Amino acid sequence: DAGVTQSPTHLIKTRGQQVTLRCSPKSGHDTVSWYQQALGQGPQFIFQYYEEEERQRGNFPDRFSGHQFPNYSSELNVNALLLGDSALYLCASSFLPDTQYFGPGTRLTVL
């Protein structure tokens, strides 16, 4: 049984560009959450998707958007990248609003 998978592992972009990160949840999970983790900090909640709709959102600008597909996989899109968007982006899946299972993350570097 595969756990949560994310792609790509690493990504380098320049300011102003757009990026799409992908996440496949653990088998049997229907909820996907996205987090941003800056170096030396705890993960910050971006948003959560359930039944293909955004259910919860953290304090992130509209440049951050997402999508959930019928197979429960999800994408995180970030437009007009800023240097401050450089971080580890983590995806987590769950079935109930309890334990979340995290993927290995995508390391985004904005130059």
Residues within the interface to other proteins (CB under 8 A): 4, 31, 33, 35, 37, 39, 41-45, 48, 50, 55-56, 58-59, 88, 90, 92, 94, 97-105, 107
Q: Using the minimum distance from each CB to other proteins, give the nearer residue, 40 or 70.
A: 40
Closest alpha carbon to 94 in 31, 6, 23, 5: 31
Closest alpha carbon to 103 in 4, 2, 1: 4
CB atoms within 10 A of CB 1: 5
Output the smallest distance, CB 28 to other proteins, in A: 16
Q: Using the minimum distance from each CB to other proteins, give the nearer residue, 81 or 89.
A: 89
